[in-house]
Amino acid sequence: MYPNTAKVDCVDVYHGVSVADPYRWLEDADSPQTAAWVEAQNAVTFGFLNTIAARETIKNRLTQIWNYERYGVPFRHGNRYFLSKNTGLQNQSVLYSVKQLGDPLEVLLDPNTLSDDGTVALSGYAWSEDGQYFAYATSASGSDWQQWYVRDVETGKDLEDHLRWVKFSGASWRKDNSGFYYSRYDEPNEATQFQDTNYYQKLYFHQLGTSQSEDILVYERPDQKEWGFSGEVSEDGNYLIISVSQGTDPKNRVFYLSLQDPNSEVISLIPEPNASYGFIGNNGSLLWFVTDKEATRSRLIAIDIHDPEKIIEIIPETEETLQGVTILDEKFVATYLKDARTEVKIFNLDGTFFRELALPGIGSAFGFTGKRSDHETFYAFSSFTCPNTIYRYDMTSGESTVLFEPNVDFNPEEYTTEQVFYTSKDGTQIPMFLSYKKGISLDGNNPTYLYGYGGFNIPLTPSFSASTLIWMELGGIYAVANLRGGGEYGEAWHQAGTKLNKQNVFDDFIAAGEWLIANNYTKTEKLAIGGGSNGGLLVGAAMTQRPDLFAAALPAVGVLDMLRFQLFTIGWAWVSDYGSSDDPEEFQALYAYSPLHNLKPGTSYPATMITTADHDDRVVPAHSFKFAAALQAAHQGTNPVLIRIETKAGHGAGKPTTKIIEEAADRWGFLVKILGMVSP
């Protein structure tokens, strides 16, 4: 028995098309009516979950596996190394410093002391040039809003500095350690800060030891409310490179400010957003960028500020997708994606090939940070069956040595991962990773969890998850489809899944499910789909377009109302990927797949558990609230249609370990029940 959800007489007209929105009142997350609805829905959901005997067993096993010591990738500033560490079940990892690797670690910042329940997280940081000062940001309850502070590394004490109303910003220190650059918004309405749109970001300089009210405005554009600014000081301290973005569009402008002349003004280097440009360093007036300008899979170029029209190619485009470049030991360290797995190549500064960095296997690697003169760097490597292992890399000898290797309570030799390629609706070949316990039979009876994202130029690469491991222990197959819209094969792959091409993403995902069934990995009665945020949209679209194909659906923090997403917080920024209902042609495409608007009364939908948080200020919970209400009204059949609403949580970043484990146990418990799996 689902809670009765009131309907209101609300109709919008889009380009002559009348669209009813009977659950509009659920957009007010703070109203007493919405709060009562949330409480009633959670009562139904947890009432159902509490009947699943396997849920507590899964939670206990998750807690057991999760309880292992793990480290972040170390990095060096001044005369110290810094790294994060979690002893196992700590809600938030602790940041440490040490003068020599191997010495006893000294706590620099323990986020677990900032709240009683672990819901305040460390969400950003930056060190001064000499390593004396540490600027850090915290976020509460998963919000995108940040507060910045400054800590003296030697004393471990915070200074008086305190910055508020910062969002989507890092910090970059001046070479003289006098302060740092950051971006912020004007102070919002306190009561509606988690819903109001975010426009008119401004770039500031904060002088160490002063009040935020005294911060110097470096750049703003009152005529461009959607422009966002990211300022980065070049390693030589001579320039502030300003990347100017517009929403989530990867194409950007680039401006710069000379820091050698106090009277200089911001100058436009790349005035029009004709491609993406990621600044990585400079040689005097010669600036290096990773760009997809005339290279859909990206290349490394140089631009001289005295002759900005001339582009100098340093590392040409290859068949692999160039993800990023850092400068270490007077060399370029370039990270590539080859069929969604990492390769690392090293080049001399003139672009000639030097050597390939041999990785431990097929998986994902990240890190490789440092300064231009450093002879060492650090990286993490992981795969679906290999936990994050931390390596030190000697730039001179080319040798990698294990620094921290986690000890997880499982035997990786019992599991395997394969990569397959399948054909989508229009003939495009799509890669997919399949991970499972060795010895399964291809008899069509394997419980399978198909996961995808397919958006915003973000690739899905192999990574370890204790939660995923539990699924495989239960006998499940974990499938990850590398859909169009992501960043696996460069900008052309991304654009093939955006705006009027967005249906390609759903076709790719549906084709993955069909391939798994056709090749006897699973069958409809054993097939579940999941995804979060843009992946929540993916699940919502797939289950409404093909309700007959899946047994269960788990859309998490999804964008599910495609006609109004741009009206809340940072939603307007996603127009570059989705398009907008304000445009007649894009409205037709959005309306054709918007999950909320494509539910058909009297249809039997897959068993569904929607997950969201009551104050997600990235994808506002109204998306999930309205979709849940509409799905419960339209659904015909015995499959449960539930919504699990987390409190004191946001979009997912910084979520404490306890909440992660609880949600994972509920997710797998739900699927054990729905898919008829053997209880552990």
Residues marked as catalytic: 533, 651
Backbone angles phi, psi at 497, to 5 degrees: -125, 30
> CA 483 to CA 494: how far, in whole Å?
9
- 331-338 and 321-328 strand pairing: antiparallel
On the CB side of 347, CA atoms within 13 Å amount to 17
Which secondary structure element, helix H or strand E, spans residue 375, and what is its range? none
- Sign of the C-alpha dihedral computed for residues 87, 652, 531 and 613 taken in this order: positive
Distance between CA 63 and CA 466 in Å, rounded?
9
Helix axes 584-593, 534-545, angle to 10 degrees: 70
Q: How many CA atoms lie within 13 A of 640 on its CB side?
A: 20
DSSP secondary structure, 137-190, as one string: EEEETT-S-EEEEEEETTT--EEEEEEEEE-S---EE-TTSSEEEEEE-----G
Neighbour-count burial for 280-303, b at 16+ CB within 10 Å, e otherwise: bbbeeeebbbbbbbebbbbbbbbb
Question: At 487, which helix (H) or strand (E)?
Answer: none
Task: List C-alpha distances in Å: 569 to 183, 370, 455.
Answer: 16, 34, 19
CA distance to 358, 378, 387, 394, 397, per residue, from 400 (Å): 8, 9, 17, 6, 9
The count of residues in the chain is: 680
Neighbours of 520 (CB within 10 A): 13
